[in-house]
Amino acid sequence: MTHIYQTENHEKYGCEHPRLSGCGYGRAFGHLWFEASITAHAFVGETRLSEQRVLIETVYLPKAETWVAVRDGAPAGFISLLDDFIGGLFVSPKHQGAGIGRLLISHALRQKGQLRLEVYTANTQAYAFYENLGFEELSRRPSDDEGLPFENAQMLLKGR
């Protein structure tokens, strides 16, 4: 059974701080992010992903509303939201294909009413996943947030 918890639920996790920093989940999510990204974003390169991991753990996750899917007492995946924008959806490779990503998207959509995201077009598995869930492509841009030549598609899913 998979359960979803908001990371602000510091009593559930025994954290002293209501956000990820200070309770160890920033590093746990950073590990999960890296584990999933090394496969999904291999085109970015391991060195670059290692650099990005530090930002994920120390800058991006603490600013986001993050929901974690817990299976067998351990994080199996998470979704981080900035309002209705999905800053990240990552599922541990050993839990992929078990419906965790779909569960996290469904939960976030119920909370927000609509969801927006950007996805690397080279990540064809993720692009197809979002398309199968009903996300519609709005536009593309030829480079990522850091100006590197990795095309991104902006997508939108409206609640029904």
- Model pLDDT for residues 83-118, shown as the tens digit of each residue: 999 988 988 888 888 999 999 999 999 999 999 999
CATH class entry, domain 2-112: alpha beta
pTM listed for this prediction: 0.78
Nearest to 88 by CA among 71, 70, 63, 113: 63
**CA–CA separation, 61 and 79 (whole Å):** 10
Distance between the two ends of the chain, CA-based, in angstroms? Answer: 26
pLDDT tens per residue, range 54-93: 777 777 777 889 898 888 888 888 899 999 999 889 888 8
Contact 17, 59 (CB under 8 A): no
Alpha helices in 70-145 (DSSP H): 100-112, 124-132
